[in-house]
Amino acid sequence: MSNPLIDIRGLEKAYRTRSEWRLPSWFRRLLRRKSDTANHDRIYALNGVSLSIEQGETLCVVGETGCGKSTLARVLMGLEKPSSGELYFSGSRIDQLTDQARMPFRKKMQMVFQNPYASLNPRMTIYQILNEAIGLHHPDFSRQQTDDYIEELLVSVGLSVDAEDRYPHEFSGGQRQRISIARALSVEPELIVADEPLSALDVSVQAQVLNLMMDKQQALGLTYIFITHDLAVVEHFATRVAVMYLGRICEVASRESLFSAPKHPYTKALLSSIPRLDDLSVEPIHLTGEVPTPLEKPMGCTFCGRCPLANQRCYEQIPVMQLQQDGSAVACHAVEEGRPWK
Amino acid sequence: MSLLSVNHLNVVFRQRHQDLQALFDVSFSVSRGERLAIVGESGAGKSILGYSLVNLLSKPGVIDSGSVKFDGRELTTLTARQWQEIRGKKIAMIFQDPMITLNPVLSVGDQMVEAIRSHTRINYNDAKKLAIEKLAHVRISSPAQRFEQYPHELSGGMRQRVIIAIVLLLRPEIIIADEPTTALDVTIQAGILQLLKQVCEDNGVALILITHDFGVVSRIAERTIVMYAGRIVEQGPTLEIINDPQHPYTQGLLNALPQMALPGQRLNQIQGNMPALNNHPSGCAFHPRCPYATDKCRENTPGFVFSGVSTVACFAIEDMLAEFDPEGGWQGEVEDE
């Protein structure tokens, strides 16, 4: 059996918050009186995430603000070290490698960031930006080869050749995102992790960038991990979808089964709240309450406080991923027991 | 008679070398209790329009000509002192980011009481009672405790609810909401939109919702205005515009949405970008991106015609209508899309 391209096993990431001992004692007393959360010194951003991604697929990771989807991308790319868990790329373990040993893998996975105004160095020309990546991963290229390659890259993402001597501020948001994509493609990666690449762009420009990404996938056989909160984009673009809630994955399913038959109560609520144009009759399921803080490692299911189907078991026992009949996997006691949706 | 009517409004940003025009000849009206949406991409001038209605344009921007009438009273010539009677009390505004709108060093209650007491003579305890009542009205749980809390202790959705409560305190007749849910998550957004719609219905308040999201528009507004590069290009009933957009830009905008293409297929993109203020195209501003553009579009600015569905500023529609003879039906060839 062939290995999946990326295999994530039980990934956890906790961030240390500023320890209390640095603060003066009077302030510490004040904090303690003000709230009881001051004793916690860790934020649990990822609580045991397991996922595998096959070659050539587009996996969309969706979830609300603070659910850990960006952290997942950063840990995957090696921008953050995981607290525990294992990370495999085509069968070889990569989470414990040194920076030096990880270099060949960095060439195979690239990232496109959310804000194209912050991810390009304002003091470098487009040529320098692209050349930096090419110089690291293709040190054998001659000057002429590099020039040709950069021109080819710019044309392939729909920019003109004379763009290479200009600076990022001379481009619009959509064009900058094209430059970010060109930079990611410059090292011929197998996997591109895109963290909300469309959210800073207007609707008509979003369509342009999304089309470019789909064209590139077809031409180069890329694998995408696409992180977004926009379910309309997911429905269009994904082959498989992972829904995250507060550091855990609650449902993984193919696009068809997720949108036609969502199973997890959170997925149901999320899908019903997208404002749709084609069907105005769908009434949103209103969730009560807000996303709890990640300061405490939850005892049971992370969603139990807002879930309309929660019972005592949900508060006490962490649900595990279970395979459903249509091939999707859901972590929910209510689905497992077949509790009826009211 | 309409509650708010805007006529031929031109807004200009005065620069040393040239004047940059942000709004061109904008006219529309809102009647009592109506919910109107203004849709457009960034740079379309929709927020500038919102700000000029409440006289909050910042310095280089001025209203060059045109009038804004509220309940028969001209607003563009009012002094700052006269504005204080209108802004907040008659016309209220909700901004995009609830954290920036609320004062971080005042408790929620203090801000609410301050808002009431600056417009009405009322003692603290009565004001507090009113404030807690309004907090309950926007469905905030345990309002008496929230009254004492500070903005940083509340979540984004809760803060936007507090702002809606503050706005409602003075019983305004129009609420202008500038992208009220853009900073919020979808599950929270659904709740806030429903709340906004409900409070407007309950109190007979008119709403002007400024947004870029047609999905949001379809949930809340009865009538929609589409803006492009400082001009209104199409206005009409929301459902008609969404189901049968007339202006090529509206069509392009709706077609670019991912829901409009089959999964995995290429999206229908509009080529190019919104023009910058200093680079405004001649004639119809949309002609460089328009698939139907002719020489007429490059030279002249289209006026409004009623297409049978909505009011549109487009020569292509105008020409099509000119060929239509109400007696004998279509004179020209019927084109398939």
A1 near B CB under 8 A: no
C-beta atoms of B266 and A270 within 8 A = no
In the structure, what pLDDT confidence band is assigned to residue A41 with cuts at 50, 70 and 90?
A: low
Q: What is the 3-state secondary structure (H, E, C) of chain A?
A: CCCCCEEEEEEEEEEECCCHHHCCHHHHHHHHHHCHHHHCCEEEEEEEEEEEECCCCEEEEECCCCCCHHHHHHHHHCCCCCCEEEEEECCEECCCCCHHHHHHHHHHEEEECCCCCCCCCCCCCHHHHHHHHHHHHCCCCCHHHHHHHHHHHHHHCCCCHHHHHCCHHHCCHHHHHHHHHHHHHCCCCCEEEEECCCCCCCHHHHHHHHHHHHHHHHHHCCEEEEEECCHHHHHHHCCEEEEEECCEEEEEEEHHHHHHCCCCHHHHHHHHCCCCCCCCCCCCCCCCCCCCCCCCCCCCCCCCCCCCCCCHHHHHCCCCCEECCCCCEECCHHHHHCCCCC
β-sheet bridge partners, residue B306:
B311
* Mean pLDDT confidence for A311-320: 88
Closest CA to B189 of B166, B167, B168, B209: B209
Residue A1 has pLDDT above 60, yes or no: no
* pLDDT score of A37: 47
Residue A297 has pLDDT above 60, yes or no: yes
Q: pLDDT, tens digit, for every residue of A20-30?
A: 556 666 766 66
* pLDDT score of B34: 93
Q: pLDDT, tens digit, for every residue of A206-225?
A: 888 899 999 999 999 999 99
CATH number at residue B51: 3.40.50.300
* pLDDT score of B327: 60
- Find the helix or strand (DSSP H, E) in which B223 lies: strand B223-228
C-beta atoms of A204 and B190 within 8 A = no
Residue B329 has pLDDT above 60, yes or no: no
Mean pLDDT across chain A: 85
- Chain A residues 274-303 within an 8 A CB cutoff of chain B: 274-278, 280, 284, 286-287, 290-291
* Mean pLDDT confidence for B163-170: 92
B214 and B300: one domain? no
Last residue of a domain, which of A215, A238, A261? A238
Last residue of a domain, which of B228, B243, B268? B228
User: In this structure, what token pair is assigned to residue A305?
Assistant: 């406080």
One-letter amino acid for residue A342 of the chain? K
Residue B273 has pLDDT above 90, yes or no: no
- Residues A178 and A182: their CA atoms lie apart, in Å, by 6
C-beta atoms of B259 and A232 within 8 A = yes
Instruction: Work out whether strand A42-53 and strand A6-16 pair parallel, antiparallel, or are unpaired.
Output: antiparallel
Closest CA to B93 of B195, B204, B168: B168
B81 belongs to a structural domain: yes
Q: pLDDT, tens digit, for every residue of A120-137?
A: 999 999 999 999 989 888
Which residues of chain A make contact with B256, given a CB cutoff of 8 A?
203-204, 206-207
A288 belongs to a structural domain: yes
A63 belongs to a structural domain: yes
A172 near B CB under 8 A: yes
Helix %, strand %, coil % for chain B, to 5?
40, 25, 40
Residue B42 has pLDDT above 70, yes or no: yes
What's CA A276's distance to the chain center, in Å? 24
Return phi, psi of residue A81, to 5°. Answer: -90, 135
A325 and A207: one domain? no
Instruction: Work out whether strand B304-306 and strand B329-330 pair parallel, antiparallel, or are unpaired.
Output: unpaired
A298 belongs to a structural domain: yes
* pLDDT score of B277: 83
C-beta atoms of B193 and A255 within 8 A = no
Which residue range is the domain that position B291 belongs to? Answer: 231-330
B80 and B170: one domain? yes
In the structure, what pLDDT confidence band is assigned to residue A338 with cuts at 50, 70 and 90?
A: confident
Last residue of a domain, which of A210, A238, A266? A238
B256 near A CB under 8 A: yes
Number of domains observed in the structure of chain B: 2
Instruction: Work out whether strand B206-211 and strand B35-39 pair parallel, antiparallel, or are unpaired.
Output: parallel
Q: How far is CA A268 from CA A126, A236, B226, in A?
A: 44, 18, 32
B161 and B265: one domain? no
Q: Which of A77-86, A156-165, A242-251, A290-299 has the lowest mean pLDDT?
A: A290-299
A323 belongs to a structural domain: yes
Nearest CB to A174 within list B190, B263, B273: B273
B208 belongs to a structural domain: yes
Specify whether the backbone of B224 is left (phi greater than 0), alpha (psi in -120 to 50) or beta: beta
Which residues of chain A make contact with B279, given a CB cutoff of 8 A?
none
| Contact by Cβ (8 Å): A50, A249 | yes
B283 and B202: one domain? no
Closest CA to A270 of A301, A237, A241, A299: A241
Q: pLDDT, tens digit, for every residue of A91-117?
A: 889 988 888 888 888 889 999 998 888
A214 and A286: one domain? no
C-beta atoms of B186 and A232 within 8 A = no
Q: pLDDT, tens digit, for every residue of A247-294?
A: 899 999 999 999 888 999 999 988 888 777 766 666 777 777 667 767
A241 near B CB under 8 A: no
A77 and A17: one domain? yes
A22 and A158: one domain? yes
Share of chain A above pLDDT 70, in %: 88
User: In this structure, what token pair is assigned to residue A286?
Assistant: 């209103």
Query: 3-state DSSP call for residue B83?
Result: helix
Q: Alpha-carbon Rg of chain B, whole angstroms? A: 22
Which residues of chain B make contact with A203, given a CB cutoff of 8 A?
41, 212, 253, 256-257
B19 belongs to a structural domain: yes
* pLDDT score of B318: 87
User: In this structure, what token pair is assigned to residue A193?
Assistant: 């992790």
Q: Which of A82-91, A156-165, A277-286, B9-18 has the lowest mean pLDDT?
A: A277-286
Last residue of a domain, which of B197, B228, B259? B228
In the structure, what pLDDT confidence band is assigned to residue A309 with cuts at 50, 70 and 90?
A: confident
Helices (H), B180-272: 186-203, 214-220, 238-243, 248-255
**Most confident stretch, A7-16, B176-185, B226-235, B301-310:** B226-235
A245 belongs to a structural domain: no
B28 and B100: one domain? yes
Query: 3-state DSSP call for residue B91?
Result: strand
Q: Which of A13-22, A57-66, B188-197 has the lowest mean pLDDT?
A: A13-22
Share of chain B above pLDDT 70, in %: 96
Share of chain B above pLDDT 90, in %: 44
A57 near B CB under 8 A: no
The separation between the first and the last C-alpha atoms of chain B, rounded to the nearest angstrom, is 39
B336 belongs to a structural domain: no
Which residues of chain A make contact with B215, given a CB cutoff of 8 A?
232, 274-277
B238 and B221: one domain? no
A17 and A109: one domain? yes
Q: pLDDT, tens digit, for every residue of B102-151?
A: 999 999 999 999 999 988 889 999 999 999 999 998 888 888 888 999 99
B335 belongs to a structural domain: no
B41 and B121: one domain? yes
| Contact by Cβ (8 Å): B101, B139 | no
- Residues A35 and A221: their CA atoms lie apart, in Å, by 52
Residue B334 has pLDDT above 80, yes or no: no
B171 and B76: one domain? yes
A244 belongs to a structural domain: no
* pLDDT score of A217: 92
A187 and A96: one domain? yes
Which residues of chain A make contact with B239, given a CB cutoff of 8 A?
280
Report the 10 Å Cβ neighbour count for B311. Answer: 18
A191 and A220: one domain? yes
Residue A38 has pLDDT above 50, yes or no: no
How are strands ordered across the β-sheet holding B174-178? B91-94, B174-178, B206-211, B35-39, B223-228, B231-237, B311-313, B304-306
B262 belongs to a structural domain: yes
Nearest CB to A277 within list B193, B252, B259: B259
| Contact by Cβ (8 Å): B118, B201 | no
- Chain B residues 124-183 within an 8 A CB cutoff of chain A: 155, 157-158
**How many angstroms separate the CA of residue B155 from the nearest CA in chain A?**
8
C-beta atoms of A64 and B186 within 8 A = yes
Nearest CB to B257 within list A203, A205, A237: A203
C-beta atoms of A214 and B264 within 8 A = yes
A203 and A261: one domain? no
* pLDDT score of B107: 93
* Mean pLDDT confidence for B140-167: 89
- Interface test mutation site (partner B, options A277, A291, A307, max chain B beta carbons within 10 A): A277
Residue B39 has pLDDT above 50, yes or no: yes
Last residue of a domain, which of B228, B251, B274? B228
* pLDDT score of B100: 84
B57 belongs to a structural domain: yes
Number of domains observed in the structure of chain A: 2
- Find the helix or strand (DSSP H, E) in which B27 lies: strand B19-30
- Interface test mutation site (partner B, options A64, A202, A286, max chain B beta carbons within 10 A): A202
| Contact by Cβ (8 Å): B230, B47 | no
User: In this structure, what token pair is assigned to residue A11?
Assistant: 């990934």
Which residue range is the domain that position A288 belongs to? Answer: 252-342
* pLDDT score of B337: 43
A231 and A257: one domain? no
- Find the helix or strand (DSSP H, E) in which B210 lies: strand B206-211
| Contact by Cβ (8 Å): B26, B49 | yes
In the structure, what pLDDT confidence band is assigned to residue B313 with cuts at 50, 70 and 90?
A: very high
- The residues, ordered by sequence, that sit 6+ positions from A69 with a Cβ below 8 Å of its Cβ are A61, A62, A63, A195, A227, A244
A1 belongs to a structural domain: no
B40 and B167: one domain? yes
A25 and A167: one domain? yes
B326 near A CB under 8 A: no
Mean pLDDT across chain B: 88
* pLDDT score of B200: 92
* pLDDT score of B123: 92
The separation between the first and the last C-alpha atoms of chain A, rounded to the nearest angstrom, is 43
A246 belongs to a structural domain: no
Nearest CB to A204 within list B41, B215, B261: B41
* Packed helices A203-220 and A173-185: angle between N→C axes, nearest 10 degrees: 20
**How many angstroms separate the CA of residue B89 from the nearest CA in chain A?**
31
A63 and A199: one domain? yes
A18 and A153: one domain? yes
**How many angstroms separate the CA of residue A125 from the nearest CA in chain B?**
22
CATH number at residue A30: 3.40.50.300
Residue matched to tokens 């344009």:
B57
**How many angstroms separate the CA of residue B61 from the nearest CA in chain A?**
23
B281 and B312: one domain? yes
* Mean pLDDT confidence for B72-98: 89
Last residue of a domain, which of A238, A273, A292? A238
B309 belongs to a structural domain: yes
B193 and B271: one domain? no
pTM: 0.80
* pLDDT score of B264: 74
How are strands ordered across the β-sheet holding B61-70? B19-30, B4-14, B61-70, B73-74
B247 and B298: one domain? yes
Which residues of chain A make contact with B240, given a CB cutoff of 8 A?
none
A205 near B CB under 8 A: yes
Q: Alpha-carbon Rg of chain A, whole angstroms? A: 22
A36 near B CB under 8 A: no
Residue matched to tokens 């004692």:
A25
